[in-house]
Structure 1
Amino acid sequence: MSQNTITLADLIENVELGGGSVITSITELEPAAGPHASVAPAKFVDGSKSVFAYENRYIGDSAQKVVLIDSKQSELNRAEAAIEQGRQYGDEAAVKIPRAVVTYKTENGPVEYTDMELSHRIFDGHFRAGRVDGKPITENDQYRALRNCTPADMSALLNTAPAALLFGAWDSTRKSNQVRLRSALVGEIIGVLADQDPGAEHRQARRGGARVDAVAASVKLAPKDMESLVNDQANELSPGNLKKNRDAIAAASKAKNKDTAHVSASGIGLGSIPPSLEETGAVACRRIIRSWVLSLATLRQLRFGTDEKKNVAARALLAALGLNAIARAERELYIRANCDLIESAAPVVTLDQRFGEKKPFAPLTVEHTDQLLLEAIENAKKAGVADWNGQIFNVDGNSSIIANATAEDAE
């Protein structure tokens, strides 16, 4: 049976005060290789260990153990990246979304980061450390207007960096009057464990990793030879790796028996690494569920002045952007290595109509939600609350930050 697609009229009706609470999109997934395959959930740091996140959820008619395959933060990052990818491909709707860009100058040319890529959006440290027209960004009137937004009027953010209004943001380092916005869009993927017996989460599969060097299984060099190799690559090695190798060279140089004092070259990628088992490998799931929730109730907390028609048009615009984000994120089921999934059935899209009533809609597609977003952009323009034409707020990145950036994990 055919289903209706969500229209702008549906959004307008439900972002008015007293409208429905949420729009949801729920999809049953399964391992791409079949039910016999295990999947790699998200890993989290607990002290010095990597762990999976387990919890009890109400599945069907009983409480069951589940594992978090993809977290809220990760799912939102995928949605943001999908929108940014659409802009890069020149999609008509995506290119109209206003954004802020911080540009770092490097020896290989300029490198750009948008407010959809940085974790605190327009209030991220990379923006706060930047400059506009040669002056600190905090002296720029346009940026000060963004930081001074209040619940009564978010117009400056809507027309400069709307990602903050949909995905959430926090001006966390400001001493007072911090802008705090919860995310109106939430997503996650969970897996219901195949093994529901007590202690199942402690009996997870372990996976091995190794490296094979086709030239030599082991490469151990005299200190002076190792030092020569390390010095040649010093500008390419991370500070931690460089220090570790130089400490090993210094220790070998001090050894009493110079003939047998050698340094392993594994730290610069030479030689094999024997297979070893990690505690966190993969899990078997009897069911995998992806959920998206777009909170219309959250959008209704946003105001853009005292004109309620403008408020409604702005909220409908953000709702359309949220649906477009869901559609784009759902289009590419790319999670991580050893976590290849496919859809078992079409997403079930539902609008809450209050008092227990729900209205089903057809699955969200990029083509439909692009058109919906374009209509919402035009509607907001007519209402005089937003004019999205792909405008960019450009910020020059602080050169000292990029000069001292490394790929090493934070301590």
Structure 2
Amino acid sequence: MSQNESQTTITLADLIENVKLGGGSVITSNTELEPAAGPQASVAPAKYVEGKGQAAKSVFVYETRYIAGKPENQDEPKTAKKTVKGKPQTVVLIDSKQSELNRAEAAIEQGRQYGDEAVVKIPRAVVTYQTENGPVEYTDMELSHRIFDGHFRAGTIDGKLITENDDYRALRNCTPADMSALLNTAPAALLFGAWDSTRKSNQVRLRSALVGEIIGVLADQKRTGEEQQARRSGARVDAVAASVKLAPKDMESLVNDQEAELSPGNIGARRNEIKKAKADDRISASPLGLGSIPPSVEEIGGVACRRIIRSWVLSLASLRQLRFGQDENKNVAARALLAALGLNAIARAERELYIRANCDLIESSAPVVTLDQRFGEKKTFAPLTVEHTDQLLLEAIENAKKVGVADWNGQTFNVDGNPIIIKNATAEDAE
């Protein structure tokens, strides 16, 4: 019998017991990862913008973290694994908390698209934009502020402003004493967090009960992170011509022909070049995707890591701050339902180790799932799987229905998107 087979799986009874007042604080899932190409390979961490305007540049984020040794006693699955004494070390942020949550939400949406029995039952809100190519939908699991996102707030229902709709008002008027409206309409906000930030008063603020991240322990602890950054070269080869330079009149003709396909910023920059050019000048067509770009070393590329760790934390303590009326049985059932959804989100996100280009990772060992039992006691469980957490979620849905706190049947809160927004949308990055 394998180690995983000998471990117990987390049950609905475990969740119910620990979302009651005084229960365990968290459920965690931690996994050792490594570069898919081997220890010699560098990985590309997330990039962030530092500075503004012309001074803006792409950077990696480095921190000092206390890193304990790898788990010992792998043959003791039912007790918390001991760790080697650790020390402060320099790490790089490979995937942030917000990015990991986005991956979890996307994995749930993917499951819905495949018709998975459990996730199709989750209530959701959808804003639909009418475009030249037909309707395009965005859900509250895709939009940054969930049901309180600007795309929802600018929309309409039955031709009237959504902010005047009684059902939407009920969502915005939820209080810590009763979150029932959100639970049965847009529960993503209760698990992943949301903030009705533009409302002038009575704002709903919900912290995320689920957080995750991936960090890499730098290979050389004697040098700074910046000193260990690799550089990436970039180039473009044009099989037709190494260089395409056009007279101002020809460039203007090309821009006019492609105006419907080019971004407003690109069009503006090209026309500004045309306006400043003399009749005998030649303008590079490289911004239009023509001609080669010589190899250059500009972008930060990757770093070498001696160890990579992915971690998830589902905060049961946060879920216990949510109430759904005065009946404690309903409160417990609703919290257990959200906890089951959180575990399903972890399992789905962990199933596909897709991060970004030049950051291909594999698991070095099975995830270690741990339930806090208070007073320093912990209990470990088998790694979370989609199959198991789907069943767990279905059981939690049925339990919540039985006590009368939630009835999840895949109901959708439909909103018509404001045509002004989609008309003026552009793929250009924000400045």
Shorter-chain TM-score tier: over 0.9
1:357 counterpart residue number: 377
The answer to whether the 8 Å contact 1:23/1:349 transfers is yes
Say if 2:366 is the partner of 1:341.
no
* Whole-Å separation in 1 of the counterparts to 2:42 and 2:298: 15
Segments ≥4 residues shifted beyond 6 Å: none
1:296 counterpart residue number: 316
2:305 counterpart residue number: 285
1:370 to 390, 412, 418: 390
* Whole-Å separation in 2 of the counterparts to 1:296 and 1:202: 40
1:51 counterpart residue number: 59
* Whole-Å separation in 2 of the counterparts to 1:298 and 1:410: 33
The answer to whether the 8 Å contact 1:205/1:279 transfers is no
Aligned-partner SS, 1:19: coil
Say if 2:10 is the partner of 1:6.
yes
Aligned-partner SS, 1:350: strand
Superposed counterparts of 1:133-282, under 5 Å: 133-252=158-277, 255=278, 258-259=279-280, 261-282=281-302
Aligned-partner SS, 2:301: strand
Deviation at 1:278, TM superposition (A): 2.5
2:32 counterpart residue number: 28
* Whole-Å separation in 1 of the counterparts to 2:96 and 2:225: 21
* Whole-Å separation in 2 of the counterparts to 1:57 and 1:378: 42
Aligned-partner SS, 1:41: coil
The answer to whether the 8 Å contact 1:25/1:348 transfers is yes
Aligned-partner SS, 1:66: strand
* Whole-Å separation in 2 of the counterparts to 1:176 and 1:269: 49
Letter in 1 for 2:152: F
Deviation at 1:284, TM superposition (A): 0.1
The answer to whether the 8 Å contact 2:49/2:57 transfers is yes
1:90 counterpart residue number: 115
* Whole-Å separation in 2 of the counterparts to 1:278 and 1:302: 48
Aligned-partner SS, 1:202: helix
1:379 counterpart residue number: 399
* Whole-Å separation in 2 of the counterparts to 1:325 and 1:201: 34
Deviation at 1:289, TM superposition (A): 0.1
1:321 counterpart residue number: 341
* Whole-Å separation in 2 of the counterparts to 1:209 and 1:98: 45
Letter in 2 for 1:283: V
1:16 counterpart residue number: 20
Deviation at 1:279, TM superposition (A): 4.6
* Whole-Å separation in 2 of the counterparts to 1:199 and 1:224: 51
* Whole-Å separation in 2 of the counterparts to 1:398 and 1:337: 34
* Whole-Å separation in 2 of the counterparts to 1:275 and 1:139: 56
Deviation at 1:222, TM superposition (A): 1.0
Residue-by-residue CA offset, 1:2-40 (whole Å, 9 max, x unaligned): 100000000000000000000000000000000000000
Letter in 1 for 2:42: S
Deviation at 1:201, TM superposition (A): 2.9
Residue-by-residue CA offset, 1:270-308 (whole Å, 9 max, x unaligned): 001111212521000000000000000000000000000
Q: TM-score, normalised by structure 2?
A: 0.93
Say if 2:87 is the partner of 1:62.
yes
The answer to whether the 8 Å contact 2:89/2:221 transfers is yes
The answer to whether the 8 Å contact 2:233/2:299 transfers is no
Superposed counterparts of 1:122-141, under 5 Å: 122-141=147-166
The worse-fitting range, judged by mean Cα deviation, of 387-396 and 54-63 is 54-63
Structure 2 unaligned spans of 5+: 69-85
1:100 counterpart residue number: 125
Letter in 2 for 1:56: T
* Whole-Å separation in 2 of the counterparts to 1:199 and 1:125: 41
Deviation at 1:267, TM superposition (A): 1.2
Q: TM-score, normalised by structure 1?
A: 0.98
Aligned-partner SS, 1:282: coil
* Whole-Å separation in 2 of the counterparts to 1:202 and 1:310: 55
Structure 1 unaligned spans of 5+: none
Deviation at 1:251, TM superposition (A): 1.6
Letter in 2 for 1:318: L
The answer to whether the 8 Å contact 2:265/2:428 transfers is yes
Aligned-partner SS, 1:389: coil
* Whole-Å separation in 2 of the counterparts to 1:392 and 1:193: 46
* Whole-Å separation in 1 of the counterparts to 2:124 and 2:224: 47
Deviation at 1:410, TM superposition (A): 1.0
Identity level (%)? 86
Deviation at 1:202, TM superposition (A): 3.0
Say if 2:44 is the partner of 1:40.
yes
Letter in 2 for 1:25: S
* Whole-Å separation in 2 of the counterparts to 1:319 and 1:197: 42
The worse-fitting range, judged by mean Cα deviation, of 282-291 and 198-207 is 198-207
